[in-house]
Amino acid sequence: MKYLVNSREMKRYDTNTIEQLHMPGMVLMERAALSFVEELLKRSADLSKVLVVCGTGNNGGDGLAIARLLKQSGHEVDAVLVGNRDKASEQNRCQQQILKAHGYELLTELPEKNTYTAVIDAVFGVGLSRNIEGDYEVLLTKMNALSGEKYAVDIASGVSADNGAVLGTAFRADVTVTFAYGKLGMYLFPGNEFSGKVIVTDIGIPEESWFGAKPQTAALEDADLARLPERKSHSNKGTYGKLLVVAGSVNMAGAACLCGKAAYRTGCGLVRIMTPEENRTILQSVLPEAVLNTYPKEKPDIAQLTEALQWADAVVSGPGIGTSEAAEQLLKAVLAQAEVPVLLDADALNLAAKDPGLLLHTHAKVIVTPHLGEMSRLTGNGISEIQTHLIEVAEAFARQYNVICVLKDEHTVTAVPEGQTYLNLSGNHGMATAGSGDVLSGILGSLLAQGMSPEEAAPLGVFLHGKAGDAVREKTGCRSMTASDLTEGIRLVTKKAEDRKEQAK
């Protein structure tokens, strides 16, 4: 697991390292510049002619140090300092003096009619909170129009480190080399589209700099797949949990099938699907491993549901159930009677949007998995507002309704009330396909049925879902990916995780 920070956290850890751990700020700046240049060399960047544009803050100081290091290595570099020099930070002024002492020229504006192989942006750092206007807007526009690969120092100027908002305009980087921790705005829309490939380098800001206040947001990594539920040599199907899936409606059998299949592929021992009678033949043909409870489409058997809820170790409710009166009866019964973890997805969320207070009247721990449209219906907020405040919206909803909120987007947010927030960095655009969410529900339900806590299962299941998509992409690419392919991807990813665990013994 790695941690991602916002601007306030980064400033706190930087200050703590300097003031409490007594690491000189100039040492950190020099290490940042050196790590940036090292990354350029690792990438075999074309440094035939380089432009470095620096502001007057510490981000600009990083840029000045980078320009010096490149010049000292024999590269042709134009270094430009923009802004009011009288208001330059102390470390920035020091870097200016070092450049001058070495006899290097420092320009005050972009050279006209020059062709560059690399353009390096060090104008604004992670602390920027105001819109970029006037001369700075013109400057960034010119920089974006220049030839050469674009590199950002710590963060692309104009991107909010907190939520990814573009503050008026922004530098469009091909690569961002950021220091100590990834910044949230680099991974959130639309800031991720201006950040390019993000590389995090260590410059000497350790975990000790947290002083008990660790970052609020984390991202899982491949090593975290070792936390998948253990498999035991002496076991049976009951060992690996019983999952009840309330899913499907007439002409929507696929949702139930994908959810159930994903649950089995993730290791669940028994999957029981409650669905209308019309789906029986389809499900028995496509997923013969599932146990079926069917009911007349307009009259669900609540007594049968009650028995199934008492049987289950976890419940998934919602994929493909529709929003009929019968579906509403099923949802209300699940929320009223379940005493095991419940996951609500798809139509269960659309039904809950009529009365979100239903989420407060349950004995079960609840995970909700809305996409942006469903979250809009649940909260009344516009989709664009949600997308540009993804973490804040997920965290607020989790606290308000005491649920774990898995808010799905390109990088899905998992918010745990009064706990850690997770930003998922696995997955790809091939997963933007019908049924992908049903597969996610099956994965999460399976982990819950196998005994994982909802707080641990939610982020791990989201990560596994994305890794399954990445495994499929490696084999077939993105364009033709289907939700059925994702269930095969689960198999590939869990096999790799098992192999790594065996090798570690």
Name the domain boundary from 155, 183, 217: 217
What beta strand segments (E) does 155-308 contain? Answer: 175-179, 182-183, 197-201, 217-219, 242-246, 270-276, 291-295
- Looking at the structure of the chain, the number of domains it has is 2
My answer on whether 402 and 483 are in the same domain is yes
Question: At CA 446, angle to CA 270 and CA 299, rounded to 5?
Answer: 65
Indicate whether 435 belongs to any domain. Answer: yes
Indicate whether 450 and 383 sit together in one domain.
yes
289 lies in which domain range?
236-504
User: 154 Cβ partners below 8 Å, 6+ apart?
Assistant: 32, 59, 62, 122, 125, 126, 176, 177, 178, 179, 183
> Does one domain contain both 246 and 193?
no
CA distance 437 to 440: 5
> Any idea what the CATH number is for the domain that residue 460 is in?
3.40.1190.20
Q: Among residues 13, 458, 504, which one has the least CA distance to residue 220?
A: 458
Two structure tokens written together for 6: 């916002």
Q: What is the pLDDT of residue 498?
A: 92
- 3-state SS, residue 244: strand
If asked whether residues 72 and 211 sit together in one domain, one would say yes
**Any domain includes 230:** no
pLDDT for the residue numbered 113: 77
Q: What is the pLDDT of residue 411?
A: 97
> Of 294, 306, 368, 369, whose CA–CA distance to 339 is shortest?
306
- In whole angstroms, what is the distance from residue 370 CA to residue 405 CA? 8
Q: Is 85 inside a domain boundary?
A: yes
Same domain, 346 and 399: yes
Q: Are residues 285 and 176 in the same domain?
A: no
The verdict on residue 225 lying in a domain is no
Domain with 66 in it: what CATH number?
Answer: 3.40.50.10260
| Residue 223: predicted pLDDT | 96
Euclidean distance between CA atoms 191 and 209, whole angstroms = 27
Per the CB < 8 A criterion, the answer to whether 475 and 493 are in contact is: no
The tens place of each residue's pLDDT in the chain, 505 residues long, gives: 999 999 999 999 999 999 999 999 999 999 999 999 999 999 999 999 999 999 999 999 999 999 999 999 999 999 999 999 999 999 999 999 999 999 999 999 999 878 999 999 999 999 999 999 999 999 999 999 999 999 999 999 999 999 999 999 999 999 999 999 999 999 999 999 999 999 999 999 999 999 999 999 999 999 999 999 999 999 999 999 999 999 999 999 999 999 999 999 999 999 999 999 999 999 999 999 999 999 998 899 999 999 999 999 999 999 999 999 999 999 999 999 999 999 999 999 999 999 999 999 999 999 999 999 999 999 999 999 999 999 999 999 999 999 999 999 999 999 999 999 999 999 999 999 999 999 999 999 999 999 999 999 999 999 999 999 999 999 999 999 999 999 999 999 999 999 988 888 7
pLDDT at 459: 98
In a domain, 231, yes or no: no
Torsion angles phi and psi, residue 148, rounded to 5: 95, 155
Residue 501 DSSP SS3: helix
Residue 281 burial (C-beta neighbours within 10 Å; 0-12, 13-18, 19+): exposed
